Structure formats: structure tokens, C-alpha cells
């Protein structure tokens, strides 16, 4: 019985959950499109003499963010994750140092925790550096 559950949980997480997420997102987009279509059709049926259909369509569709706004959103996400990973790396490094100083854990565990701390710290710093270089490149592209 445990073997069945051990197989079922990873399948549910790795197969069923992503499929369900994609299905929910697509269903939501389809429902939004159908709602807009129904509203436009109802407006046309009630007011067959609508003079400016383009203006009505522009009001119905949400505004698309500009390239700069999209890139800034991505860069800010990178800064957030970089800061989080750097802080996590520092916290793990402090914890590892304290555990080694007080002799709380086995040395193998301490070295594994140190490797994880170093990886978190390095990836966080890399993301922060990528944020600043990306912001510099974005400002240079917008000015040109």
C-alpha cells in the first residue's frame, strides 16, 4: 500500500497539478473572451447604430503594458528573488557557523549545509548583479 502512495504523490504533483493549472488558466482566458463577446453582441443588438465600434472595442480590452513596464516587472522580480536568496544564504551561513562552533551536528551535515548556504548566497548575488546590469541596459535602450 505504501508503494502505491509513494508512486501516486509524485505523479499527482508532477503530472496532474501542472495540467490542472494550465487548464484553469486557459479556461479563465476563454471565459473572459466569451464575456467580452457577449457584451459587444448585446451592445450591437440594442444599439445597431453604434458609430464608433473601434472605440467600444478599445474600452473593452485591457490596456497592454509597454515593453519597458514588462521588463521592469521582470527586473523587479529578479531583484526580489536575488535579495531573498542572498538573505537566505547569509542566514544559512550564520546557522552553519553557529552549529560548527557549538558542535551541534555531525561534520558531514555541516558541510552539506555550508554548500547549500554558499549556493543560495551565490545565486542571490548573481540575480542582484543581473538586475543592475539589466536596468542599466534597459535605460540605455530606452534613451536611444
Domain ranges across the chain: 1-61, 64-144
Among 1-10, 65-74, 131-140, the range scoring the smallest mean pLDDT is 1-10
Q: What is the pLDDT of residue 5?
A: 81
DSSP character string of 57-116: HHHHSPPPPPHHHHHHHHHHHHHHHHHHHHHHHHHHHHHHHHHHHHT-S-HHHHHHHHHH
Q: What is the pLDDT of residue 91?
A: 96
Amino acid at each position: 500500500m505504501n508503494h502505491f502512495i509513494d508512486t501516486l504523490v509524485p505523479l499527482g504533483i508532477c503530472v496532474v497539478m501542472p495540467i490542472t493549472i494550465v487548464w484553469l488558466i486557459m479556461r479563465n482566458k476563454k471565459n473572459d473572451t466569451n464575456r467580452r463577446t457577449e457584451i459587444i453582441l448585446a451592445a450591437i443588438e440594442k444599439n445597431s447604430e453604434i458609430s464608433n465600434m473601434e472605440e467600444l472595442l478599445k474600452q473593452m480590452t485591457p490596456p497592454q503594458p509597454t515593453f519597458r513596464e514588462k521588463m521592469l516587472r521582470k527586473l523587479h522580480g529578479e531583484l526580489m528573488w536575488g535579495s531573498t536568496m542572498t538573505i537566505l544564504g547569509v542566514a544559512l551561513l550564520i546557522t552553519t557557523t553557529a552549529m560548527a562552533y557549538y558542535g551541534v551536528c555531525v561534520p558531514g551535515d555541516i558541510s552539506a549545509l555550508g554548500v547549500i548556504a554558499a549556493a543560495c548566497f551565490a545565486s542571490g548575488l548573481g540575480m542582484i548583479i543581473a538586475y543592475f546590469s539589466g536596468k542599466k541596459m534597459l535605460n540605455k535602450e530606452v534613451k536611444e
